[in-house]
Chain A
Amino acid sequence: MTDRRLRLAVGILSAAGAAVAGYLTYARYTDTTLVCATGGCETVQRSDYALLAGIPVAVLGLGAYLILLGTALSASELARVVGAVVAVSGTLFAAYLLYAQIVVIDAVCQWCVASDVLIALLAVACSLRLRSG
């Protein structure tokens, strides 16, 4: 796959991820009840796991997706390396949070799962971008 196509994929996936993280961030700061089919969104969002060093994980996710969106705008080696580091580390952290939802909190947030899927796909796309360079 060409770097141009991969950049397009990274752009679309990270924009979708930013929308999900943006919604969670908005809900957190406006105290809005999340639309939730899995029934566990509030439980997850109000647990300790939704905060990292006092910062909402949704905000960190939003930041990560915006960085990834930025890397899609550039064909440089720096953009490809930064994209891969952010997406792969984000995927590993997302896997840990998914484990926490299932094993510790006993509640699953559909928005977190959607974000998990997006960041995993981004890790694949960004890793392929490294190869295409």
Chain B
Amino acid sequence: MSRRTYAAVGGVALIVAAALIAASVIGTRGGEPAQADQLSPNDAPALLQGIPQTGPALGRRDAPVTLVEFADPQCPYCAQWSGQAFPELVRDYVRPGKVRIIFAGLAFIGPDSDEALRFALAAGRQGKLWQVMDLLYANQGAENSGWVSQDVLREIGDAVPGLDVERALRETQSQEVESQLAAAKDLQARLGVRSTPAFAASRAGGQLAPVQVTSLDAGGITPSLDRLLAR
């Protein structure tokens, strides 16, 4: 076969590959995200659709800024932050690849927090922690009233598309879940976190520093994120 044929084959293969990669890049970055003001807490599957989730982390691994959220599933202010600030942060910072959010779950409030946290972290093993947290917040009961029952967890799990609920329930006592709980506690102690929600942020790979939020909507935290992104 002639050199010309080789060159033609190589050229066409390159064009085809470039077209495939371009389509993938557009598909993963260019999609129109949902409007935050149309999102109720139960729209998490749509809000988070296609965003990489690994364990407690949400967003691209190569995002320039890391934001750690300390939260307790029973904390009403965490639920408020999740409903008001979180959708906008996802739309404007996480989906475009600017920020990666890491969930650091704390069981400050009591036994129901621990049960709920374990289930959320176990769901994280299937890339579903943030969907589960959204539903836990939306279904918060009276503090430590025993509202985090197996039935409630099953109901919440069943509402998360693609989650193997029985597997998540089995894994609530797994070593990985224990390690994540311990890691969050260590980080909380190191940063002196005393209430939830609380936040810490850094440039990727840098030293985490506490971030003070001025309100529970997105505007309470975005100036800090913008400052980090501008560095």
A52 touches B23 (CB 8 A): yes
B9 touches A81 (CB 8 A): yes
A47 at interface, CB cutoff 8 A: yes
Q: Which of A53-100 contact B (CB under 8 A)?
A: 53, 77, 80-81, 84-85, 88-90, 92-93, 96-97, 100
12 additional A-B residue pairs with CB within 8 Å, beyond A80-B1, A88-B17, A89-B20: A33-B164, A33-B167, A42-B127, A43-B53, A48-B31, A52-B24, A53-B27, A85-B12, A92-B13, A104-B61, A130-B1, A130-B9
Closest Cβ of chain B to A28, distance in Å, is: 11
Contact string against B for A residues 15-58, beta-carbon threshold 8 Å, 1 for contact and 0 otherwise = 00000000000000001010000011011001111011100000
A43 touches B127 (CB 8 A): yes
With both beta carbons as reference points, the residue of chain B lying nearest to A47 in the complex is identified as: B52
Q: Which of B8-55 contact A (CB under 8 A)?
A: 9-10, 12-14, 16-17, 20-21, 23-24, 27-28, 31, 49-54
With both beta carbons as reference points, the residue of chain B lying nearest to A81 in the complex is identified as: B9
B14 touches A106 (CB 8 A): no
12 residue pairs bridging A and B, Cβ less than 8 Å apart:
A33-B164, A52-B27, A81-B9, A85-B12, A85-B16, A89-B17, A90-B17, A92-B14, A92-B17, A103-B62, A106-B61, A133-B1
Which of B's residues lie within 8 Å of A, judged by CB? 1, 5-6, 9-10, 12-14, 16-17, 20-21, 23-24, 27-28, 31, 49-54, 57, 60-62, 97, 125-127, 162, 164, 167
B17 touches A47 (CB 8 A): no
Task: Count contacts between A and B, CB distance < 8 Å.
Answer: 95
B9 touches A88 (CB 8 A): yes
| Chain B residues whose CB sits within 8 angstroms of the CB of A103 once the complex forms | 61-62
State in angstroms the CA–CA spacing of A46 and B60 once bound together.
14
Closest Cβ of chain B to A116, distance in Å, is: 14
User: How many residues in A have their beta carbons less than 8 Å from beta carbons of B?
Assistant: 34
| Chain A residues whose CB sits within 8 angstroms of the CB of B20 once the complex forms | 52, 89, 93, 96
Contact A43 to B62, CB < 8 A, known contacts A48-B31, A49-B24, A77-B1: no
Contact A105 to B162, CB < 8 A, known contacts A43-B127, A52-B23: no
Q: 8 closest A-B pairs (Cβ-Cβ)?
A: A48-B50, A92-B17, A88-B13, A89-B16, A106-B61, A48-B28, A105-B52, A89-B17
